[in-house]
Amino acid sequence: MNSSKCTPSNAGLTVSHPHMPESRPDVATTIRHLEPPAGISANMHAVNVCLSALALRIQATMRWFDQDVPDIAVARRTAANLVDDIARLEMHVARLDA
């Protein structure tokens, strides 16, 4: 069993590995330098959620249109939800720019 582990902490990630001596501050702080600024990861998650919702709604809309008898009313409702998803995505992207 591998004894290395990586656990989150308030000061960043704490890395324990048998081959990484704790006396190497240059190695210990490297991971903290790779972390996104505070709040960015939550906004990136929100952006990814919006992108996933967009992809699913677009696929659903295409399925409604691809039926032998397209269900235009349902496709229209699904497309209307796309507009809401895009507005949410724009809001999250604006937060990333701020």
Model confidence pLDDT, tens digit, residues 17-75: 555 555 556 655 556 655 666 667 778 888 888 899 899 999 999 998 999 999 999 98
Task: State which residues form the domain around 48.
Answer: 40-97
Q: What number of CA atoms fall less than 13 Å from residue 63's CA on the CB side?
A: 7
**What's the pTM?**
0.53
Per the CB < 8 A criterion, the answer to whether 36 and 47 are in contact is no
60 with 88, same domain: the answer is yes
Domain count within the chain: 2
| Contacts with 13 (C-beta within 8 Å, 6 or more apart), sequence order | 6, 7, 31, 32, 35
In angstroms, the CA 16 to CA 58 distance is 44
22 with 46, same domain: the answer is no
